[in-house]
């Protein structure tokens, strides 16, 4: 019903010499393309894509390539792409590893992250959002892999008694 009203208003406004008085701009199919796009599902939001920038003042001129080779072996990292000599893009699963863990691993191995204000603010925002999302999913702070814990907790909370829903006297009948 609403869609028909919008198309009628758009059709009336698009005709020369005829207006509806609403001043509505004619709508096209591309105008609604973004609004009707499917929303991100819970499973999709657990896969993160982040860019990590490295300081250019380092003895290793190709820190990004060296870091990419290191991160490919990390559990939970799905894909690492070198964008430039000082920038990599990391795709990872949030329940297995988070950006703070990846950055700590890189710093432990001697890589120098870019500490300009822009990157510090971005990293702080990503750390906060990922920590909050992991806490909402049942991951405690400091746990690198909480997927197993979530399933164990679900198993513990489940009733393990008799699953037969018949009354007791009916179960003893046979």
User: Is the pTM here over 0.75, yes or no?
Assistant: no
Q: Locate tokens 């806490």: which residue?
A: 135
Distance of CA 128 to the CA centre of its chain: 13
- 6-22: per-residue pLDDT in tens? 444 444 444 444 444 44
In sequence order, the 6+-apart residues with CB closer than 8 A to the CB of 143 are: 149
The SS3 assignment for 89 reads strand
Selected residue with higher pLDDT from 15 and 101: 101
User: Is 50 exceeded by the pLDDT of residue 101?
Assistant: yes
Q: Does domain 44-155 have CATH number 3.40.50.2300?
A: no
Is 68 buried (19+), middle (13-18) or exposed (0-12) by CB count in 10 A?
Answer: buried
Give the residue extent of every domain in the chain. Answer: 2-30, 44-155
Tens of pLDDT along 27-74? 454 444 444 444 445 556 889 999 999 998 888 888 899 999 999 988
Residue 142 banded pLDDT, cuts 50, 70, 90? low
Residue 119 has pLDDT above 80, yes or no: yes
């Amino acid at each position: 019903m609403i869609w028909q009203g919008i198309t009628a208003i758009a059709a009336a406004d698009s005709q020369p010499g005829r207006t509806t008085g609403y001043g509505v701009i004619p709508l096209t199919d591309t105008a609604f393309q973004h609004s009707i796009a499917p929303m991100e599902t819970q499973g999709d939001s657990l896969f993160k894509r982040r860019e990590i920038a490295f300081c250019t003042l380092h003895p290793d001129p190709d820190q990004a390539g060296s870091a990419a080779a290191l991160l490919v072996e990390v559990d939970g990292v799905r894909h690492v792409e070198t964008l430039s000599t000082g920038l990599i893009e990391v795709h990872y699963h949030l329940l297995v590893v988070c950006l703070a863990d990846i950055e700590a691993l890189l710093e432990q191995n001697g890589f120098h992250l870019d500490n300009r204000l822009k990157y510090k603010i971005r990293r702080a925002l990503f750390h906060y959002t990922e920590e909050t999302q992991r806490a909402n999913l049942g991951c405690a702070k400091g746990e690198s892999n909480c997927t197993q814990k979530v399933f164990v907790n679900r198993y513990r909370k489940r009733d393990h008694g008799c699953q037969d829903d018949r009354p007791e006297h009916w179960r003893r009948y046979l």
